[in-house]
Amino acid sequence: MKNTWSQLLFDFYSQLRCPELPAGNECMNPYLESECIVVVKEFLEKHFNDTNERIVLFGINPGRFGAGQTGIPFTDPVALENDLLISNVFDKRTELSSEFIYKCINAFGGPAVFYSKFLISSVYPLGFLKDGKNLNYYELPNAAEFISKSIVKELQKHLAWPIHRRLAFCIGQGENFKVLSHLNKTHQWFDQIRPLPHPRWVMQYRRKQVDQYVNDYVKALSTPFAT
């Protein structure tokens, strides 16, 4: 009998450990905290208790107000409680990226529908800080080495899951897409990777057009299922 998504993902998160980083950089691993493990387990059992094939959306890496706390990609404590209906003890502070993603999830049909078809993951599953602020993996001083070793290692683990290999989405049209596309060209994980605008960029610089970007996301995500 195949392992369910919930088992596969829980095992994946549970084994994560922070890598060694250059001085002045920190790593966040919420999966070592009991408060995080409780909500992650509830989320996975609720939405991933099956073996169905899913399409992956790859973000950059977790931020300190979202998955850096909750352990669920692009999910801040407010979305965790209000959208996923999972009570939690985290400080109810919102994250812009989470706010946008859940607008898209709800426009797609809600969490139950969305998560039955998609997995939101990250190019690297743990977040980084420098001077208390979020740091993207490609901003690390040793980024090239880190990408070629640690990131490839974690991305390869996705291939053991029932993922859709013909198509994946990249959350971010800039450096994240550049890195992921280069790695995919080398390793041939997916037939195609399609970029989507990064939620934080939308919320910061295109706030008046948020509804249009939500519609664009839903249209792009619906394309693989069009008849």
d(CA 171, CA 199): 8
- Divide the 227 residues of the chain into consecutive groups of 10 and give the mean pLDDT of each group: 91 95 94 96 97 97 95 98 96 95 98 98 97 95 94 95 97 97 97 97 96 97 83
- pLDDT at res. 139: 96
Please state, in angstroms and as integers, the Cα–Cα distance from residue 196 to each residue in 140, 145, 169, 177, 215, following that order: 23, 26, 7, 9, 12
- Reported as a single tens digit per residue, the pLDDT across 177-205 is 999 999 999 999 999 999 999 999 999 99
- pLDDT at res. 227: 57
First to last CA, the chain: 31
Our CA angle for 123, 223, 185, nearest 5°, is 40
- pLDDT at res. 142: 94
- pLDDT at res. 224: 87
d(CA 213, CA 216): 5
Sheet holding 127-130, edge to edge: 26-28, 127-130, 133-135
- pLDDT at res. 1: 58
- pLDDT at res. 2: 79
- pLDDT at res. 187: 96
- pLDDT at res. 26: 95
pTM value?
A: 0.95
